[in-house]
Structure formats: C-alpha cells, structure tokens
Structure 1
C-alpha cells in the first residue's frame, strides 16, 4: 500500500490513544484497491449530491420565473392582446416543463446519493471489482449522466424561451409606439367618436376609411334612393364593394335580419357588388348573422369596426378576404406591465 505520510491531510484524532490505534491499524491493512474504491465511492456520492443540488437550485429559479410571469398582464382590448398571450403561454409552458424536469432530476439524484450512503459499510473494493453492469448500484449511478443531460437541456430550453419572450416583448413595444402615433393621427377614429356621430357622418367616415385603405370611392353617402347602398368603393383589384351603414346611438342597438335582407336584394342585382358589407357601430342579431352567412354577406360590427377605424387594420384583412396581416402581426407592438 502506498501512503504519503507527509501529506497535508490531517488524520482523524478521536481523543483517546486506543481509538487512534484502532484507526491506524485498519488504515495499515487497507490495500490500494480499498483506498481507491473508498475514493471512488465518495466521489460518486458527491457527484450525485451535486446533481441533486444543482437541479433543486434550477427548479427554484424556474419556479420564480413562473411566479414573475403570473404577475404580468397583457393589455386588454388591444390589437396586441393575442400576441402577448401567445408569448406568455410559450414561456409559461417551457418554464413549467423545466420545473417538472428539474424536480424529478433532483429527487432521483438524491435517491442515488442515499443508496450510495447506505452502501458505505459494504466491501467497496468488491463492489468496484464487479464487472456486472446490471448491479443495482452501477445501474443507479449510470443514470447520473442522463439526469445531468436532462437538467442541462431544461436550462437551455428556458434560456431560449426567455430569449424569444424578450424579443417578442421588444417587437410589441415597437408596435405599441407606432400604434400610439396612429391613434393620435386623423386616420384613426375611436369608438367614442363613432358613437357620437350622426348617421350621415357615419357614412362619410366609412368612405374616408375606404379611401385610407386605397379604395376608389364611387359613392360616399346614401340617400332616399340609394337602393340599400350607402357607400360604394372599388378595390385595387377592381372588386366592387357595397356598404350598407347602420349607425346605432351610443353603439347600443342591434341590426336585424330585415336590413340585411334588403341589402342582399339590391347589392348584387342593382349595384353589381363583388363584396357586400353591412357595417354598424352596434351589433347584429343572430337571425341577421345566420342570413348573412347563408348569402355571402360580410358583417362588420363594433368590434370589427374598432380594428378597422381605430387600429388601422385594412378592411379586407378585417373581413378575412385576403392575406394582409392585422396590425398586431406586423413587424413590431406593447410590453407587459406589472399588475397592480
């Protein structure tokens, strides 16, 4: 046996010569295999313990991130609300999966350390001479590598998710600045402004919005002989759009099926409409919605009107008739704000 007695490691002192003598006797009988096995056993236990502690530490950090995310709220009634919620959901799912992974890794690594601790009284040299990899101790320790890989992957996943979330918040913050400028311009009409309009002003606003979208307005307002067409415009692709405008005081009223039926009877036969739109600052009754769906009539209620008039989404995009992305999907919008 090779022991460097001049090592700086201090041998245990039990306070009684007899106990010290017993310890030195056992040490003198230890073989190279005994000492190496004891060192290997200690090292494996330390690796298992380090793995458990690392996973537990990451679990705490990930859970803190979940709590922080829960305290952030998306703006309500905003063109960016859906984008905020989607970004939060992506990060939340990744964080919670990472929490589950690290908790499981910490538990398994701690269990391995416990089993190793219980084997300290066994013949360690015999254990490490065994070539049988199916031995319970060997198979358990063999899990430490995969467990460490799981922890590392969970950490990478979280870092990537946090990076995506930060980028999305930056994009939305940029869009929010652009939106603020647009809302302050003459191109934007708030629902409050719309509700305060007269029916005549409402029709002219619809014509103004059509022009803003690049449509050529043929008729800007209806009259007693308009045959159900208040505003008529033509798209850049030569599609003829016929609007019937139904203003409701304070946005509280509903448009019934009779008005939609009247529009259906004249828009295409009399005005050669390619796209028929009934627009209101109120809402539509269910019979009106059912009739419009059956006769290919587009209904634009106050929620859609907010997207078109207030937020600036193009008409055809609001109606779902082309592939133009809504404002919140363009290249930039808001960041989360702390609740309370």
Structure 2
C-alpha cells in the first residue's frame, strides 16, 4: 500500500515494542482497498454519530415543545375560546406526530451507529466490495434518517409558526372587539334590558341596518301579523323578525309565540328567513318547535354577540358567513 510514513501524523510510540512492530507490519501489508474501506468506515461512523446526536437533540426538543403545549392555559368563557382551543389542538396533534416520528428516527440512528461499530471487527474490504450502495446496509439507511429529520424539523417549525400566527390573529381580534364595544355602534345588552318593547323593536331594526340590511318595516303593531321587523339582507333574502322584549332580561318566550310567527312569516310576509329575537330566553317547547319548522331563535346570549359585539345577524343565527356589514367589525369571521 502506498503510505507516507513521513506524514505529519507520527506513528504512536507504544511501550510494547512487539505491539509497535505488529501494527507496522499490518499497515504495511494493507492494500489500497483496505485503506479506502477503513476510511469509508471511519467517515460513515462520524456521519452516523453526528446524525444520531441530531436525532437525539430533535427528539428532546419535540418533547420539550410538547410539554410547553400541555402547559398552555386553555381559556374558557371568552368569545375566542373556540379559536384558542382549535389552534391548541392542531399544535398538540402536530407535536404528538413529531414526537413519534423523532423518536423513531432517533432509534434508527442509534441502530445504525451500533451496527457500524460491530462492522469494525469484520472484513471491511469485503463489506464494501459486496454492497457499499445497499440501502439495507447501516450507512445506506443514514440517508433515510437524514430525510426524516429534515421533514420532522420542517413540520415542527411550520406547526409552531401556524400556532403563533393563530395566537397573533386572536390577539388582534380581541383588540378589534374591544374597540368595537367602545364605539357608538355597539349596544349593551344591559341597555336593551331597560328598553320598552317599542324601543326594542326599533333597536333590532337599527342593528339590522348596521349589518347592511335594507329595512322594510322597523316596528310592529296590532296588525303586524307576527312580523315586527322586516328586512332585505345583503344577499337579497327577505328576513322577518318577531321581537319579544322581557323587562330586565328575565322571562321566557313560549311555544305559542313561535307558533304564531310560523303561521304568518312565510305565508303572509313571504319570508326566506324567520327569526324570533328576545333579550330573555326560550322555553324548551319553543326551541323544539322552532327546530322542526326552520325558525331561528336569538336569545340573550346571541343578542349580545349581535348587538354588543357586532357579529352579523345571519352569522349569529347560523346562516352562512353573512357578509355585507356597513360597520367594520374586524374581529369577526367564521370560526
């Protein structure tokens, strides 16, 4: 074998001269194939060790991130709780997948290192002559590990960025909601509780106008046939609203009122959308009847979303994405 004994790397001065003599003899007997195989093996071990450390580091990082996700507080009782929870669940699912994938990649990397170490005592020249490009060989599987780590890290960064973006979006919406509530366009439910029935009807009409509806009737009367407010929605739908005010927000609207509305809204007023709205609540029979006859109910909690928070009427009652607001409510969009 061609070897430069005058290299800058000195031959070790072993205490035992026999050992030194045996090493020199073996090196002198080595062929070019032996030298290349040994260097290849040494290089593969270094690469395998580096990627094994990288796999272990990624596994540890994913585990820490998963701990952080599990430690996040889940806000409840706010309008944005659903957005928080959806973003949290998406991130946790991504973290669990990354945890499983990174653990598998780390195990594979450690296995490659172990198998490469075992090859050290074998015939390296024969090993590389028979199948150096075999994907089942230890070093051949390093490429798979490297691809896995790259993909896992990319997906991890993407999931974390998506969560940060979602939290940033929620923060902006919270700011916009607070700004809207402080504006003249927001009507507090507490103020609605103190209104007269006639003023409540006019307020409902004003809120619909705020949403971009064209007002066809703004208040009812003795001959209103169950329709206190009639509007044309931005999409052209004819909306009939029956308003039932309850002083102080106390009291329920029963099934007879909803049945009366059902009997006139479509036959008499040609309604496309029928809504019963109250600052109180509805009885269970009223809810059951409305569900069976495609009548939308808007109780005190939904009234707050509409009047105070500025969510569009049709969105509040669960009809489409309801656009066309005249007033900017930047916080709102479908969850």
TM-score, normalization by structure 1: 0.82
Equivalent pair of 1:48/1:112 in contact (CA under 8 Å): yes
Partner of 1:324: 322
- 1:160 and 2:162 are equivalent in the alignment: no
Distance 1:261 1:198 in 2: 24
> Do 1:247 and 1:282's aligned partners in 2 also have CA atoms closer than 8 Å?
yes
Gap regions ≥5 residues in structure 1: 335-340
State the distance in 2 between where 1:127 and 1:272 align.
86
Aligned length: 330
Change (3 A) 1:268 1:101: closer
Q: What's the CA shift string for 1:79-98, capped at 9, x where partnerless? A: 44333333333333333222
Shift, 1:278, TM fit: 0.7
The two structures have a TM-score, normalised by structure 2, of: 0.83
**Whole-angstrom CA distance in 1 between matches of 2:186 and 2:74:** 22
Aligned to 1:91: 91
Q: 1:151, CA displacement in angstroms?
A: 0.9
**Aligned partner of residue 139 in structure 1, secondary structure:** coil
1:40 counterpart residue number: 40
Q: 2:281 aligns with which of 274, 277, 283?
A: 283
- Greater relative contact order, per chain length (Cα 8 Å cut-off, separation 6+): 1
Deviation larger for 13-22 or 56-65: 13-22
- Aligned match of 2:70: 70
Q: Is 236-245 or 289-298 further displaced after alignment?
A: 236-245
Matching of residue 142 in structure 1 with residue 127 in structure 2: no
Q: Which moved more, 1:68-77 or 1:310-319?
A: 68-77
SS of the aligned residue for 2:7 comes to coil
Residues 1:314 and 2:322 are matched in the alignment: no
Structure 1 residues 240 and 38 mapped into 2: Cα distance closer, same or farther (>3 Å)? closer
Distance in 1 between residues matched to 2:233 and 2:330, nearest whole Å: 27
2:217 corresponds to 1:208? no
Deviations 1:242-292 (A, max 9, x none): 322233466564432122112223334454544321112333333222211
* Aligned residues: CA RMSD: 3.2
Q: Distance in 2 between matches of 1:74 and 1:255?
A: 34
Q: Report the equivalent of 2:60.
A: 60
> Residue 183 of structure 2 aligns with which residue?
185
Over residues 179-212 of structure 1, what are the superposed CA-to-partner deviations in whole Å (9 max), with x where a residue is unaligned? 2210111221344444455545433332221221
Say whether the 8 Å CA contact 2:188–2:304 is kept in structure 1.
Answer: yes
In structure 2, distance between residues paired with 1:2 and 1:169: 65
Q: Note the residue ranges of structure 2 that are not aligned, 5 or more in a row.
A: none
In the alignment, which residue of structure 1 is the partner of 2:51? 51
* Contact kept? 2:240, 2:273, Cα under 8 Å: yes
Matched with 2:265 is: 267
Seen in structure 2, the aligned counterparts of structure 1 residues 152 and 229 have a Cα distance that, compared at 3 Å, is: same
Q: Which string of whole-angstrom CA distances, capped at 9 and with x for unpartnered residues, describes residues 126-155 of structure 1?
A: 222224866xx9533221111211111111
CA contact (8 A) 2:302 2:316 kept: yes
